[in-house]
Structure 1
Amino acid sequence: MLNRVGRRLRRLIQRPASAELTRYEALLPAIGRREAELEKLSDTELTEAAAAMRERDPVDQEWLAELCALGREATRRALGERAFDVQLLGTMGLLTGHVVQMATGEGKTLSGALAAAGYALQGKRVHVISVNDYLARRDAEWMRPVYDLLGVGVGWVEPSLTTEDRRAAYHSEVCYGAVSEVGFDVLRDRLVTRPEDLVQPEPEVAIVDEADSVLVDEARVPLVMAGSVDAGMADEEVANIVRRLRHGLHYETDPDGRNAWLTAAGASVVEKSLGGIDLYDESGSARLAAVNIALHAHALLTRDVDYLVRDGKVQLINASRGRVAELQRWPDGLQAAVEAKEQLPPSDHGEILDSITVQALIARYPQVAGMTGTAAAVAEQLREFYQLEVAVIPPNTPTIRTDHRDRIFASPSQKLRAIVEEIRTVHESGRPILVGTQDVAESEELADKLAKADLPCVVLNARNDAEEAAIIAEAGTYDRITVSTQMAGRGTDIRLGGADGADHERVAGLGGLHVIGTARYPSSRLDDQLRGRAGRQGDPGSSVFFASLNDELVLSHAPDVPEDIEADPETGEVTDAAAQRQINHAQRVAEGVDLEIHRNTWRYTRLIERQRAELLRHRDAVLRSELARERLAEAEPDRCAELAEKLDEATLTQVCREIVLFHLDQLWADHLAFLAEVRETIHLRALAREAPLDEFHRAAIPEFHKIVGEAEQRSAKTLLEAEVTESGVDLAAAGVRRPTSTWTYLVHDNPFDSDAEQALKKVRSMLRKKRS
């Protein structure tokens, strides 16, 4: 009773993870009572009972109970597993539009499948959005027998599918797909010129797997459609000059590693190397921009931390997962600068035809729900950006994992020695050990130290990410040491005793999996994800994080460490509670910085998305109706009448449509380029004490309102100039030619902001004073 009252009070004061579960829990007895009856039905009768749900009121609580009862029986028959009560609570939470938090190994995939089937039985089309293509296909194939018994069609999309297969998958009642693949298809649909070429139907329901990763970590990552291929160009001369510059003498960086700028000595060296130009004069502005971006690539992006060089290409590393970020790149100028830094050939780039952020992609869906193991820590962001509440589902079996207090050391080297000793001590008992490192370089350094200490380990990082599932599946094997980046934080379950669980009892008797973190992550969620690899479904396990007062997290976000904190003179270990408070504070600051970046990005993106939505409504009207022909007939009646004599109705309508859509799409691409330029230079408005966001709106809104009118004027001109032959109208000769090839990619968040430009502005002022 007291527990129930406590939950209600928490809900009333709107604390994170406060969604009320009582009304769902009250349905569990009724669901249980239906089991014996449903077991007597044949498969056909079970499918018919599910079909009858399509005619009932889905708002009814009895409907929820019946859906869960049918889902449990379908699961038992199809998979040989009886859904736990907590899995059904997760299903009900998803069906009522929550982000449900379920611990590792508690069966989120099944809860998501039953919820997707429930939405489908309500007559809604569902997209189950995953973090990658592998999981999308795996889950769709794994859950297909359950969907079949419930009479629900399921498909999935992946890069290898043809357009026809994609269209069929999206028109299934339930479609699984990676967030990037779903987003790319949205962008591709925005370029079609015939309604029948559209692949996706109107969005209705999204169930987001790993919701915190998709909705928060990747929310502001733009998905991009580009065309008109050419090679990215970096200034090779500048790259060679910057490569010789020295930190502290020729350039400085700020403590959080987001900005770099030339010193007076550095500017002098660069100017002499470039033939005596003045970087800070208008004549040198182009070279200054090249120097600035090359300096950022040289000073602030680190190989094997921010990116890998593999197969002759720069491959970005996703910081929150530790994996190679497939199809991801930095904005073209920075991408080219890093390639020049590594002396690699430039990759292709071209005009951006359209783009959409992950947050805007999810916002297209009228109904959104999600599931993850770590949602409570981002409940504020989920509420603020998506109006979603978190429902924390209790584990089926209580967690008995032991989470030890952090072990803190004065320096990283002392910490590393202690980590190796911890691994040696635990390894002697035969317990499996999983070590989570911060990046590729650290994982390989630790593996080298362990090899020298005669402690063989398996390394998992972005270099061998193709082996991820196999390595993680065996991380619970007796006597196994696995060293991994954050990619071990979620995904494949770690079963004690190995993938087959054959040695489960032996490993459990030793204490289960021991998880070691080599440093606290910038987010408490990432810490919790790593800890959560141990203690699966009531298994024993333990975790401990090692930290240093000179870790990157502390140096970047809380460098003012109290001077009276003392360390053990021999080991360097710090036991003063103030050290723990300092590290916790640094993590909170890092989380706050990330949240503010998200907010600031969305302030700008929100206007762009409103403009995109408005333009797309007009584009859709042009695509699906005779609007283009009507408008051109008003502008050029004589020309339209002339063409009507030579072309049939359908052909003339399509010609007008293609002309108008071409100009609409071209003007939108130009508008995006204009907005990018405004955004990049907006800091100059701040120096003039003007609000940057207000100035952005002031520049963006009038330009947007010109697009439709300008498109109609250009279309009328094209119609006049187009040549008509017996075979039709030669649009290409009139300049109406779409890109010969297009491609898609994700733009990694630019790791720097315009503060760097402000810093260079200050240096420019300083140098001018010096020269005067």
Structure 2
Amino acid sequence: MLGIGKVAKKVFGTANDRKVKATRPLIAKINALEPEFEKLSDDQLREKTAELSDRAKAGESLDALLPEAFSNCREAAKRALGLRAFDVQLMGGIFLHQGNISEMKTGEGKTLVATFPAYLNALSGKGVHVVTVNDYLAKRDAEWMSKVYGALGMSTGVVYPRQDPEEKKEAYACDITYATNNELGFDYLRDNMKSSLSDMSQRGHNFAIVDEVDSILIDEARTPLIISGPSDDRTELYKAIDELVPLLNDTHFTLDEKQRNVTFTEEGNEFLEQQLMQRGLLPDGHTLYDPESTTVVHHVNQGLRAHKLYTRDKDYIVRDGEVILIDEFTGRMMQGRRLSEGLHQAIEAKEGCEIQPENITLASVTFQNYFRLYEKLSGMTGTAATEAEEFMQIYGLGVVEVPTNRPVARIDEDDKVYRTGREKYEAIVEEIGNAHAKGQPVLVGTTSIEKSEMLSEMLKAAGLPHNVLNARQHEQEAQIVADAGKLGAITIATNMAGRGTDIKLGGNVEFKIMEAIAANPDGDHAAIREQIETAHKADEQAVKDAGGLYVLATERHESRRIDNQLRGRSGRQGDPGRSSFYLSLEDDLMRIFGSERLDKVLKTLGMKEGEAIIHPWVNKSLERAQAKVEGRNFDIRKNLLKFDDVMNDQRRVIFSQRLEIMKSEDVSEITADMRGQVIDDLVEQFMPPKSYADQWNSEGLYAAVIEKLGIDVPVIAWAAEEGVDDETIRERLEAAADEEMDKKTKAFGEDTMRQIEKQILLQAIDGKWREHLLTLEHLRSVIGFRGYAQRDPLNEYKTEAFQLFEGLLDGLREEVTQKLSQVRPMTEEEQRALMQQIAAQQAEMQRAQQAAMAQASGQTTPDSAAAAPTPLLAGFDETDQTTWGNPGRNDPCPCGSGQKFKHCHGRLA
């Protein structure tokens, strides 16, 4: 008997069905326009773009322009790529334009789908960002789809790490820009560290289409983007703590695998105290609970986490003496990505690698807060429905499942549960052998490098030829994936999320053609293509007859989404396929989430060795366990976001103030207000309100005025005058300070003084913000302990962060006022020397920033970046402009920095 909910769905349809149905009239309109657009010439398609753009800029809504824009785009794609978009692809594009996530199965052509909303939203002239998970996909998609945008008269740009600044700026100025999430976030942070508007790359955040949206906005959202600089070297401390951790036994700590957390017990704390004192790491007479011990305690905790929670070849690998993290979702190496707060250094000490210095944060942002900057956001993926609540709560994104162009013909089998891992792997090898014997290609999914290599050894022993795709084979990824659909192929993969490459039955025909042409470059390319395409059709049919791609997973992941992504590799575009999950009670998910009861049931049933339990109920109970883990991970991310939101509010205030200052020609009013506030504070401090004249500290005020305002005025004499009050003293100080600034302005010249004020203001903001970030990091790491005092850590953090921010603003006013008071006119020679010194510092800072960015983007910095540049002119002298030649503003700078003259020495000369 059907439940009430199921009956209602049968009658009214699901909410998703209703959304899909609502797009049908729009699609009918687009299809009705097709004959009209087919008649247009190539030039008329571009003219249509100009017409639509003018209408959009004149105020016509994009929704009203949608049918014509989509029709124009479909026609351009048909001519440029030979691809005519299906109705379901138009539907996916409509949902993206409406600011939703389009859930489309693997192989449904998401790359083409993105062109429709990107084109429509680019008509406004504000730019569109298409976000991908890696640089290879950003470049590939930009190159491929630029043919469509070019046919429509629109420009396409691509942003990548270590790009020339001018080129990057041009890429962001294009109508449609392809980039990775990392590069977009870092460019946002870098822009907010620049000191002039002309140096900024991004031009706003209008509309973003995020490909593999679940990978970027959920999986990667746990880790903030950080631009950092080096701090003190603590190598010896890490090594000393690493020697101590192996001495601990099971009574000294508690390990919670569910929460992925490890903490010291009371007994462990006592043992630690003794050991730290013996090694001289804890000062005499101090305990672990003293404030002075915070740093040591923090590093001991990180050492314990490194040993007990992080496993080699699962969470990281060691290559060429370097600890490289592995992305748990894609199985890829994350070059240049490091764990923060000393945890990466603790792992380096554990593995005996060279310990890299810790970094201090110069700027940071989470992906959640970066992507919420966009006026409109949308995304595409094959799997988002299980995280729909998180997408809606955090980003305001709805998830819509778009129907497939052809019905899914894949057979999804019930999970097979074995009692032990050994029985499971023996059954897997046997199953792979059976599939291989009939020519069916098999994709085997594992959860770690270690398990993929163990299974590889078992397959070798069984005489089964295969490929292994994990972080160690990162370079051959595209080739291995291209071959995975060949007749009889066996491919072991460590996770397959967000690979961006389809597994095609019979193998990837384009790869085969490229290989054949590379082997015979002088041959008849057309004949080679025809021959390979004919042979490929026979291969494809043979694979289909064998049952299509067989996805065999060796374990359930914590997230249903990752399992669905693996499953979705099979059965693309109506192809036949099969998927099956092989599990054992020794798997992490089964072991942590109550396999004891199941083990008892299996024993009671009297199961024989090698037998598996197969039942839909087992699938349901596993899905419930996964939903619990997903819920817990969502709560963790939500909690992290609540804390980051506090900093984000402050970040937005600081960044918007910086931008306002950079846009302003004259900031003298801001500095005058700051000066007035400093004077108010000084008078209030040394002449408290409602106090008598004999209670004033006029000597203290005199000294403070000389220090903070740089003026020598008779404050003590003023205070001794009959009938004078604090308001009179305040007015006299303001008049004297303003007069002093007027003299400086005349001596420097109006324009120079305004520039000096602007630069001092920006430098002070940047310096104070860096200090503030460090303080907030420290506060965040200890605020959780307030919970023991029955106080809400989040509220405590909000209160203290607000107080710290007020302190930042007070300190900023004082620093700007004091620095301006110390500025004095210089001789021409002094001025030139100073300007050249600043230019050298800026060039050095830019090199350091590029090196930090290169490291963060997983690039290695060439030695030449660290070395001093070789001057282009013989006899070039930074301090003597006569040796610079006469370069044009856009010529390379004669100092050899590689920058244009106008951005280097020419900026200040």
Q: TM-score, normalised by structure 2?
A: 0.77
CA distance in 2, matches of 1:431, 1:578: 29
Partner of 2:243, secondary structure, is helix
Task: Give yes or no for the alignment of 1:499 onto 2:508.
Answer: yes
The one-letter amino acid paired with 1:669 is R
> Is 1:319 aligned to 2:319, yes or no?
no
- 1:531 paired residue number: 567
Counterpart contact for 1:440–1:485, Cα < 8 Å:
yes
> Greater shift after overlay, 237-246 or 108-117?
237-246
Kept in 1: contact 2:53–2:125 (CA 8 A): yes
Letter in 2 for 1:378: E
Q: How does 1:419-498 map onto structure 2 within 5 Å?
A: 419-487=428-496, 490-498=499-507
Match of 2:288 in 1: 280
Task: Map 1:34-113 to 2 at 5 A.
Answer: 34-56=33-55, 59=61, 63-113=65-115
Is the Cα contact below 8 Å between 2:81 and 2:148 reproduced in 1? Answer: yes
Report if the CA contact (8 A) 1:221-1:746 is conserved. no
Q: Residues of 2 paired with 1:302 and 1:715: CA distance?
A: 49
Change (3 A) 1:440 1:246: farther
Which residues of structure 1 form unaligned runs of 5+?
Answer: 749-772
1:364 shift after superposition: 0.6
Paired with 1:396 and 1:373, the residues of 2 have a C-alpha distance of 14
Structure label with greater radius of gyration: 2
How far residue 549 of structure 1 moved from its aligned partner, in angstroms, is 2.2
Alignment of 1:323-362 (within 5 A): 323-362=332-371
Report if aligned partners of 1:93, 1:391 keep a CA contact under 8 Å in 2.
Answer: yes
Q: Which deviations, in whole Å up to 9, do the C-alpha atoms of 1:31-70 show, x marking residues without a partner?
A: 2233233222211112112222123365476622212211
Moved more, 413-422 or 271-280: 271-280
> 1:330-409 counterparts in 2 under 5 A?
330-409=339-418
CA positional deviation for 1:237: 4.2
Deviation at 1:488, TM superposition (A): 5.7
The 1-side partners of 2:37 and 2:10 are apart by: 33
In structure 1, what is the equivalent of residue 629 of structure 2? 590
Kindly indicate whether the alpha-carbon contact (under 8 Å) linking 2:445 and 2:566 is maintained by their aligned counterparts in 1. yes
Aligned partner of residue 99 in structure 2, secondary structure: coil
Deviation at 1:160, TM superposition (A): 3.1
| Cα distance between partner residues in 1 of 2:620 and 2:96 | 37
1:768 aligns with none
**Structure 2 vs 1, CA of residues 199 and 234 (structure 1 numbering), >3 Å: closer, same or farther?**
farther
Whole-angstrom CA distance in 1 between matches of 2:228 and 2:316 = 23
Contact kept in structure 2, 1:234 and 1:336, CA below 8 Å: no
Q: CA deviation at 1:109?
A: 0.5
Identity of counterpart residues, as a percentage?
35
Structure 2: unaligned runs, 5 residues or longer:
1-5, 510-535, 676-736, 859-909
My pick for the range that moved more, 500-509 or 534-543, is: 500-509
Q: Which residue of 1 aligns with 2:188?
A: 186
2:804 — aligned with what? 703
Is 1:329–1:747's contact at 8 Å kept on the other side of the alignment?
Answer: no
Cα 1:106–1:510 change in 2 (3 A) is same
Q: Judge conservation of contact 2:415–2:614 (CA < 8 Å) in 1.
A: no
| In 2: Cα distance, 1:331 partner to 1:48 partner | 52
For each residue in 1:85-139, what CA deviation from the matched residue of structure 2 results, as whole angstroms up to 9, or x when unmatched? 1111111111121111111111111110221111112333111111111111110
The residue identity in structure 2 corresponding to 1:431 is: Q
AA matched with 1:184: F
| 1:644 corresponds to | 745
Relative distance call for 1:11 and 1:362 in structure 2 (3 A) is: farther
- Higher mean C-alpha deviation, range 250-259 or range 331-340: 250-259
**Correspondence for 1:751:** none
- The 1:308/1:639 distance shift into structure 2, 3 A limit, reads farther
Matched, 1:547 2:547: no
Correspondence for 2:831 among 705, 711, 728: 728
Amino acid of the residue matched to residue 485 of structure 2?
Answer: G
- Find the aligned partners of 1:61 and 1:5 in 2 and give their Cα distance: 32
Greater shift, 58-67 or 428-437, is seen at 58-67
When residues 136 and 442 of structure 1 are mapped into structure 2, their CA distance, relative to the original with a 3 A threshold, is same
Alignment of 1:244-259 (within 5 A): 244-245=246-247, 248=250, 250-256=252-258, 258-259=260-261
The alpha-carbon distance between structure 1 residues 585 and 238, as it changes in their structure 2 partners (threshold 3 A), is: farther
* Corresponding residue for residue 710 of structure 2: none
Q: Aligned residues, how many?
A: 741
Q: Distance in 2 between matches of 1:29 and 1:274?
A: 78
Q: CA deviation at 1:291?
A: 2.0
Pairs within 5 Å for 1:624-703? 624-626=663-665, 628-633=667-672, 635=675, 636-703=737-804
> Using the alignment, how far apart are the partners of 2:190 and 2:387 within structure 1?
32
Spell out, residue by residue over 1:178-221, the C-alpha distance to the aligned partner (whole angstroms, 9 max, x if none): 00001110011111111211111121111111111111112232
Change (3 A) 1:549 1:251: same
- For residues 651 and 266 of structure 1, what CA distance do their matches in structure 2 show? 60
2:551 matched to which residue of 1?
515
Residue identity matched to 1:629: S
> Aligned partners of 1:477 and 1:506: how far apart in 2?
9
1:305 aligns with 2:290: no
1:620 pairs with 647, 659, 673, which one? 659
Name the structure where helix makes up a greater proportion of residues. Answer: 2
Q: Which moved more, 1:577-586 or 1:353-362?
A: 577-586
Structure 1 pair 732/229, CA: closer, same or farther in 2 (3 Å)? farther
1:271 aligned partner, one-letter code = Q
Shift of 1:21: 2.2
Identify the residue that residue 206 of structure 2 maps to in structure 1.
204
CA distance in 1, matches of 2:553, 2:83: 34
Are the counterparts in 1 of residues 342 and 358 from structure 2 also a CA contact under 8 Å? no
Which residue pairs with 2:638 in the alignment?
A: 599
Query: Which SS does the other structure have where 1:114 is aligned?
Result: helix
The CA deviation string for residues 282-339 of structure 1, in whole angstroms up to 9 with x for no partner, is 3755433332211111111111111111232111111121111233211141111111
Post-superposition shift, 1:273?
7.0
Q: Go from structure 1 to structure 2 and tell me whether the alpha carbon gap of 1:464 and 1:51 turns closer, same or farther (over 3 Å shift).
A: same
Whether 2:592 is the aligned partner of 1:556: answer yes
Q: Name which of structure 1's ranges 416-425 and 54-63 shifts more when overlaid on structure 2.
A: 54-63
| Offset of residue 234 of structure 1 | 5.8
Residues 441-450 or 175-184, more deviating: 441-450
Deviations along 1:606-663, one digit per CA (max 9) or x if unpaired, are: 1111111112221111111145433334525345334323434333222211111111
Letter in 1 for 2:52: M
Q: Distance in 2 between matches of 1:354 and 1:132?
A: 22
Q: 1:6 to 1:54 in 2, by over 3 A?
A: farther
Q: Counterpart amino acid of 1:280? A: L
Q: Indicate the RMSD between aligned Cα atoms, in angstroms.
A: 2.8
Contact 2:496–2:566 (CA under 8 A) maintained in structure 1: no
Q: Distance in 2 between matches of 1:686 and 1:564?
A: 40
Work out which of the residue numbers 300, 303, 328 in structure 2 matches 1:291.
300
8 Å Cα contact 1:436-1:483 kept in structure 2: yes
What are the superposed Cα offsets for residues 707-733 of structure 1, whole Å, 9 maximum, x if unpaired? 233212101111223454225394999
Letter in 1 for 2:483: E
